[in-house]
Amino acid sequence: MALHLRLLQIEMYLPNVASETELIRALGPLKRLCKNRLSIALAIEHFTDSDRGRFSIIVTGTEKTVVEHESDQLLDWIESQIQGQSLSIDVNWL
């Protein structure tokens, strides 16, 4: 049985984010979503630029198609639920 890992590295424009505290608050809904799902890990990078947020997500599973579907759904959720705009999304299989 193989374990499949998909890495999503995302940089977003997040209006009115000027500190690490505001970045964590802006990404709060995503953090809560990932906390409740065993197959998803979230890492938020340290705040460096105003109105910018960078974070990485790893989606794991034993079936590649399920991991791909779940990560695509997660990207759609981010676009619809996080107030901001994606500047870059890098998706890689590990």
Instruction: Return the residue matching tokens 């996080």.
Output: 82
pTM exceeds 0.85, yes or no: yes
Would you give the DSSP letter of residue 36?
Answer: T
pLDDT digits (tens, 9 = 90+) for 21-79: 999 999 999 999 999 889 999 999 998 888 999 999 999 999 999 999 999 999 999 99
Q: What is the CATH number of domain 4-93?
A: 3.30.70.1120
64 and 12 Cβ atoms separated by less than 8 Å? no
Give residue 60's pLDDT: 97
Residue 29 makes CB contacts below 8 A (sequence gap 6+) with 81, 82
Which amino acid type is present at position 93? Answer: W
3-state secondary structure of 89: strand
3-state secondary structure of 3: coil
Give residue 47's pLDDT: 87
